[in-house]
Structure 1
Amino acid sequence: MPFPLYLLALAVFAMGTSEFMLAGILPDIAASLGVTVGTAGTLTSAYAVGMIVGAPLMAALTRKQPGRASLLGFVLVFLAAHVLGAAGPGFPVLLATRVVAALANAGFLAVALTTAGALVPAARRGRALAVLLSGTTAAMVVGVPAGSLLGGLLGWRATFWAVAALCLPAAVGILTGVPARRGRKDTAGGPALRAELARLGSPRLLVVMLLGALLNAATFAGVTFLAPVVTGTAGLDELWVPVVLVLFGTGSFLGVTAAGRLSDRRPGLVLAVGGPLLLLGWPALAVLADRPVALLVLVFVQGALSFALGSTLIARVLHEAAGAPTMAGSYATAALNIGAAAGPLIAATTLTTAAGDRGPLWASGLLVAVALLVTFPLRDVVTGARSGETVRRP
């Protein structure tokens, strides 16, 4: 894999750490800034909305810029947002910086997805995306627990400063390692923005985006509310919460890595095998959540399956949006973040039902079931069998 991919993954690691780290430092933020924990929780919602809106908006605004210039600009804006957030005097400033950071994150990921696919031959696109997305999974394994620990020791502002510091080597790496005009099409000779947006009218593209949103909703529905399952249903100490999250993140890393090799040649196999297993896994986790050993094993497995399927669907979105060379990455980013925003909202409604803390796990299973029901009659669309793409390559 080209070295610039690993530089992009470093930036994705910093951004992924920032996106997920609030779960461990919200109480500290609320106490420090004199707001309720519920009010502090709007920081997460603001970030999700910024990601959804920012992906297509930032991709459209920077489509005439070389990929390296856009990527560098987004990293620097992301860095500045965290510096201002760490140094800011109150909650309104922090909220504003989270929105700005989300816009920069969304723009970076949208351009990086397109860039990663263009840095390698089409037959290796899945592996390239796996390298890029390993930054997110590494953030879940290392960045988020480390951020929580740092926040607990030195305060939440230290976590923001640490994320800003991570952006510095990423920015230098992008400036020196990513080719100046490699990775995005020259829009002067490519399709107009209107033509790229018209790709959203493609039923094939919309189906794959819908599946990506549903599967990511299932992932975030379960993961967001794992803490009460660990400490309540399973009866484990609070110190086990980061352990469980690390297990999920480790599984997701391995899932992305494995799918990166398979999704180029056999996307249908990944979906056909992984989909039903993922569907069985969430209800099994709900039923066995009071058994710590089963909980730990199933969390790891669900992380691997969720991210293996998710990365495969990202590759399918980029394929179906091939006629939108500068906007394709934003379509994948927007779809995933719609799922990330909707999943926890859907899961939250189950907490007051008889299912209690296990409700979000049942909700995750239901969302996967809906995704598979959509997939079955349209499986040729999802695997590309009708689009003329050679799915199985030597």
Structure 2
Amino acid sequence: MSLKYTSVVIQDIWNSEVVQFLDCLLTDYWSTVGITSEIEARLGKITEGGFVSGVSQKFFYAMRDYLKSRNYWTDDNGAPVKPEVDDEYAVVFDQSVRVVAVSESGTYTIKEVVRKTTTEKRTFLFDENMYSLRISLAEEAPLTEQDKAAYSQAALSYLMGSPSAYRVNLVRHRERITFNFRNDYRLDMTATQSAESMADVHNAPTVYEVECELCLPKHGHCETLFLYLNAILHRMFTQPEAVCMPPVASRFHPGYVAKLEAASHGQVVLKGDVELLNSEGYDDSLIAWCKKRNPEGKAILPFQEAKQLKWSLAHPCSLPTLQGLSFPTDASPCDCALVINDGGMIRTESGEVFHCCIWQYEGVALLTNANQSSSVKRSANPS
């Protein structure tokens, strides 16, 4: 486990070891992040004893009040929600088993039973007037349903004043509010009191903690890293847009994501007509229109109409990866010449309108305009 402290200039963060570390974590744990692995960033300070989590009370409440004033937070199902503070108790047993219970009106409701171990962590230092950043990865060790039930009962008994069946190592009283941004990331703001027993916890000093957890990724690798680090910079460090956005040339810039998406679809720029080969499963009215106007009865879609849609390679020879590499496909040379349409509408010179579904038409992109002569004649004699 690395305990290295790394100095970083906040203005250069997108070219720093912060990005390198996050990139490695996402690469190594991509399939488990948000499931059994947890990537978390928290603010704190470096002391002689190491990193200490926590911010000032003034910073904490100013940030919390600002976040509460925003209206873009959601619940786990994506529905808009106004976050509220939960009164929680976390009871920590041997083997890092933690039971979290929510207290309300004198009763306790179990929120989670987990056993997590931090396996990777790095601490980054910025300007002396700024908080330090700890980024860590914790992995969850599985617990059987029987174990979860036993630990839950032990925690409830302990909180209600009865002896616990397991030894209690630590008790935390937490006033926590969670800001969930579209299930991309969660900001947890927690006023925490910690003690070795329930009897002492309310007399313990309060630590004000700010954490940002990455949710289960639903975007690509680069976009996920951008969203997460942008949230850390924007929400936790309140940095200006110039710092929150990576350089335009960076593969983590949103513009790169758009280019990658275009590359993954193999978008092509037409230079001529498109010979439509099929419209399987759909109405063939556009193909019929093309054949009717072509002297040879071929389904040639004129360039003037074809360019109204976006076209991509139907069977690319290779596909880009999320790491900027590529891998070959098993497409044959003949297949690699085929194009397929994106959804849209075609309006002909004579006023006909064709609505085209995505991937409705597969065809061959021609290098010339096969109907150029007939198109010129129509233009000269519109009747």
TM-score when normalising by structure 1 = 0.21
Structure with the larger RCO, 1 or 2 (CA within 8 Å, 6+ apart): 1
Which is greater in Rg?
Answer: 2
TM-score when normalising by structure 2 = 0.22
Q: Which has the higher strand share?
A: 2
Q: Which has the higher helix share?
A: 1
